[in-house]
Structure 1
């Protein structure tokens, strides 16, 4: 009985430490509050029942996130909704800073992510938001490791290109304003 209580206590700590991160990742992926809640709840239930298969508690977050992503895919598939939407309204975490630069940066990143193709978006979310390793992403998506590396590299390139386009457009607008003001005042 004491061993069972220790397992429960350890699992409770792991859930408290990781629940929000896993939920945000799944919501980021599904864009559906109820699907995300169901998938995360089911993932933690599965994780508890298979906790003895986990070699290191350091890998718990990525392990349970992988389970939750699979559960979300399963739920969406059963709803005959095979398309998982891209990132649009998800906020990575509440803004902790009131500084304008931080707000602008987060908005720019979010806007750029929404413009990416779904598969590019998916790789960036799994790598940088879910903190999955390349091997875990490879296993989750059912593709080989080298293909995962290539796709992640392409997703990062696409992201960089979109950011650079945004920067160039903003610079052109800044350069046009003085000219427009001058013409308006004449």
Structure 2
């Protein structure tokens, strides 16, 4: 059992990290209720094993890893449930106010949704959950060099898709005035 002091520290850690862990797992599951279950279970596990955590500075990545494993376990047990990592939710986390960035947000959303599951997963873990390459390697149970290769390939695939999305939008913008002009003649 944890001491009163440890319980206070745990409560502070939960308050500081709950939202980010929730958003990260939500990106992965695209299901609010499944995410709630996984995150709550992760914090219960973290509470029970808090004495195993050597540094409180690593609490966020540790509990995120636990929550991701819980989400994977829950999803694995659901029949015919396909994992879709990114959805419209991530647009809300991009807080740009300029109108020009609305198109960019849509392009990012489209590109991320078109990525393979493996590519999407590693990008979310690295750039949204802020996990280190070693943490990702441990979490996905792959070698560090394989993690680096997968991350590199995922970034390349994302760049290609983003270029396609941007080019498609530019073509539409260029063609639209001509189409409008032709309709009025």
Whole-Å separation in 1 of the counterparts to 2:19 and 2:85: 20
- Cα 1:102/1:170, change in 2 over 3 Å: closer
Q: Deviations over 1:35-70 (max 9, x none)?
A: 111111111111111112212212111110000010
The answer for unaligned runs of 5 or more in structure 1 is none
- Cα 1:152/1:181, change in 2 over 3 Å: same
Match of 1:119 in 2: 118
- Answering whether residue 19 of structure 2 is matched by residue 17 of structure 1, we say no
Match of 1:157 in 2: 156
Confirm or deny: 8 A CA contact 2:107 2:166 kept in the other structure.
no
- Cα 1:95/1:83, change in 2 over 3 Å: closer
- Cα 1:94/1:125, change in 2 over 3 Å: closer
Match of 1:30 in 2: 29
1:1-186 mapped onto 2 (5 Å cutoff): 4-81=3-80, 83-91=82-90, 93-94=92-93, 96=95, 98-186=97-185
Whole-Å separation in 2 of the counterparts to 1:107 and 1:125: 17
**TM-score normalised by L of structure 1:** 0.89
Count of residue correspondences: 185
The answer for unaligned runs of 5 or more in structure 2 is none
**TM-score normalised by L of structure 2:** 0.90
Whole-Å separation in 2 of the counterparts to 1:81 and 1:8: 40
- Cα 1:95/1:120, change in 2 over 3 Å: closer
Whole-Å separation in 1 of the counterparts to 2:84 and 2:96: 29
- Cα 1:51/1:151, change in 2 over 3 Å: same
Deviation of 1:34 (Å): 1.7
Deviation of 1:114 (Å): 0.9
Whole-Å separation in 1 of the counterparts to 2:178 and 2:103: 25
Whole-Å separation in 2 of the counterparts to 1:35 and 1:167: 33
Whole-Å separation in 2 of the counterparts to 1:28 and 1:13: 24
Confirm or deny: 8 A CA contact 1:95 1:103 kept in the other structure.
no
Q: Secondary structure at the match of 1:88?
A: coil
Q: Secondary structure at the match of 1:99?
A: coil
Q: Please give the root-mean-square deviation of Cα atoms over the aligned residues, in Å.
A: 2.1
